[in-house]
């Protein structure tokens, strides 16, 4: 399967500093092959390595991936269990390599409600990789944008933050992404055009790209195509174009 890498020229392109991906379409990828949905999730997990490598190659500094939403608990129990098993296996098998590659792992979301053995693996992985700086990989796992905002508000109330001191910067510092720049580009695979509760505060001014490929088929060249598309965008932030 591994074919020679096609050279991809970044000259003249604007490479986003922070890319966030809604990794969607695993189930449909599997169904089209007459496979069970879980086979799609396995293929999706495999695909991560390709995308992490491509991010490092293209000079993307921060990658945020949506792995499991607060709403995904609504899925059948065996699918949820299968997904948890895949996360466990990915941590067991990939952590050493990720660490060697200089990947710093962050978790976005709530670990409460996750089985204790997996919670511990996640915490250990965060601790092991905390000083790495080649690529920051934020894993949104048991993550929902609304739950994140409520979590932040609760924390601020508990800290006694007064209405006068509340600014956008302070609010951002209570989110799971505290200290990180907002995403520049949000990619959703599988052609769906919705946000599905992903980074609803942080992506206020992100550029969105809907990629038609199912997540397991979204590789280096597709990521490159998204960067080409991003480079054509005119980010005005409510102001006037800098380009003309
Ligand atoms: C994304 O693929 C993976 C997760 C949500 C965990 P889906 O499982 O949503 O795949 P489709 O959308 O059903 O094809
Ligand atoms: C979003 O995909 C969540 C993840 C990719 C983890 P979903 O497949 O859960 O989203 P909906 O249900 O189509 O909005
Ligand atoms: Mg989906």
Radius of gyration of the chain (CA): 18
Q: According to the model, what pLDDT value does residue 5 have?
A: 86
Q: Strand 62-69's sheet: what is its strand order?
A: 103-108, 135-143, 62-69, 18-22, 185-188, 207-210
pLDDT at residue 2 greater than cutoff 60? no
Name the closest-CA residue to atom 11, ligand 2. 196
Q: Report, as an integer, the average pLDDT of 123-139.
A: 98
**How many Cβ atoms are within 10 Å of 84's Cβ, its own excluded?**
16
**Would you say residue 3 lies in a domain?**
no
Q: Which of 1-10, 57-66, 182-191, 204-213 has the lowest mean pLDDT?
A: 1-10
Task: Tell me which residues have their CB closer than 6 angstroms to ligand 1.
Answer: 23-28, 68, 72, 83, 190
Which of 21, 22, 24 to mutate to test ligand 1, by most ligand atoms within 8 A of the CB atom? 24
Q: How far is ligand 2, taken at its centre, from the CA of residue 160, in Å? A: 35
Give the domain extent around 153: 18-232
Ligand 2 pocket list (CB less than 6 A): 22-24, 66-69, 72, 192, 194, 196
Mean of the pLDDT values across residues 99-114?
Answer: 97
The CATH number linked to 211 is 3.40.1180.10
16 confidence band (pLDDT: 50, 70, 90): very high
Total domains, the chain: 1
185-243: pLDDT as tens digits: 999 999 999 999 999 999 999 999 999 999 999 999 999 999 999 999 999 999 999 77
Of 242, 238, 226, nearest to 13 (Cα)?
226
In a domain? residue 156: yes
Ligand in closest contact with the CA of 83: 1
- Domain contains 179: yes
- The answer to the question of residue 240 being in a domain is no
∠ CA 118-72-144, nearest 5°, is 85
CA of 69, nearest ligand number: 2
Are the C-beta atoms of 243 and 234 separated by less than 8 Å? yes
Spatial neighbors of 60 by CB under 8 A, at least 6 apart, are: 15, 16, 17, 18, 19, 135
Q: Is residue 158 part of a domain?
A: yes
Would residue 63 count as lying in a domain? yes
Residue 238 covered by a domain = no
Residue 215 lies in a domain: yes
pTM: 0.97
Would the pLDDT of 60 be above 70?
yes
Instruction: Tell me how far CA of residue 163 lies from CA of 112, 146, 156, 157, 168, in angstroms.
Output: 29, 20, 10, 10, 12
> What is the set of active-site residues?
24, 72
Q: Which of 28, 37, 215 to mutate to test the pocket of ligand 1 (most atoms within 8 A of CB)?
A: 28
């Amino acid at each position: 399967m591994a074919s020679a890498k096609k050279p991809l020229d970044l000259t003249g392109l604007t490479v986003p500093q922070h890319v966030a991906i809604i990794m969607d379409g695993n189930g449909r990828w599997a169904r089209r092959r007459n496979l069970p949905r879980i086979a799609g999730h396995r293929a999706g997990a495999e695909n991560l390595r390709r995308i992490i490598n491509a991010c490092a190659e293209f000079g993307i500094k921060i990658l945020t991936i949506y792995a499991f939403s607060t709403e995904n608990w609504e899925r059948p129990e065996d699918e949820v269990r299968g997904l948890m098993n895949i996360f466990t296996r990915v941590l067991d098998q990939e952590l050493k390599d990720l660490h060697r590659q200089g990947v710093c792992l962050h978790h976005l979301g709530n670990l409460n409600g996750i089985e204790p053995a997996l919670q511990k693996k996640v915490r250990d992985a965060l601790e092991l990789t905390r000083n790495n700086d080649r690529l920051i990989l934020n894993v949104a796992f048991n993550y929902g944008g609304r739950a994140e905002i409520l979590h932040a508000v609760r924390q601020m109330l508990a800290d006694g933050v007064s209405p006068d001191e509340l600014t956008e910067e302070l609010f951002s510092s209570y989110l799971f992404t505290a200290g990180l720049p907002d995403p520049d580009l949000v990619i959703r695979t599988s052609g769906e055009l919705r946000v599905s509760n992903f980074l609803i505060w942080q992506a206020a001014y992100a550029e969105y790209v809907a990629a038609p490929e199912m997540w397991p088929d979204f590789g280096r060249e597709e990521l490159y195509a998204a960067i080409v598309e991003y480079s054509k965008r005119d980010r005005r932030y409510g102001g006037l174009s800098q380009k003309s």
